[in-house]
Amino acid sequence: EIETLDQKEMELHQSQLRLIREQTAIFIRDLATLQQEVATLKPILGQHASMADRMEYLERVLGDSADRHSHELHDAHGKLDQLHGRLSEQHSAGQEGEARHLSLARRVDMLEQSLSDATARHSRELQEAKTSH
């Protein structure tokens, strides 16, 4: 009986050892398959990471560009407001200058009329003086 028990124990150990070897072989094969899959996925994941980096770069560039354009637009509006103010001032000054010009033109007309009248009067007086002598 002891011999059969020893023999059965030996058979059990051999079966367990065979099962462990088989499971180890399956594990090694599955591990090799997984390693190949990981090696295949690494470049793809690297591309995705670089795609994420690229997207982040583009978002940053677009954000910077939008900020720069916003500042430039704000500056342009400020300059436009300044130009509008200057134009309004020039327009007002132009109207005042035009009014002065008109008053100057009237004054020149009046001076010309006075000169013409004075010339005519002097001519008459000179004529009268010639006729009376």
pLDDT of residue 101: 64
Structure-model confidence comparison of residues 133 and 76, the more confident one: 76
Single-letter residue type at 132: S
Contacts of 70 by beta carbon, 8 Å cutoff, 6+ apart: none
pLDDT of residue 49: 64
User: What DSSP character marks residue 92?
Assistant: H
The number of residues in the chain equals 133
pLDDT of residue 65: 82
pTM (global) more than 0.85: no
CA count, 13 A, side-chain hemisphere, 93: 6
Single-letter residue type at 89: E
What is the dihedral sign for C-alpha 29, 31, 35, 41?
Answer: positive
Structure-model confidence comparison of residues 114 and 130, the more confident one: 114
Is 31's pLDDT higher than 90?
yes
Cα torsion for 71, 77, 78, 84, to the nearest 10°? 170
pLDDT of residue 102: 65
Is 13's pLDDT higher than 80?
yes
| pLDDT tens, residue by residue, 44-63 | 777 766 777 878 888 888 88
**Strand, coil or helix: 11:** helix
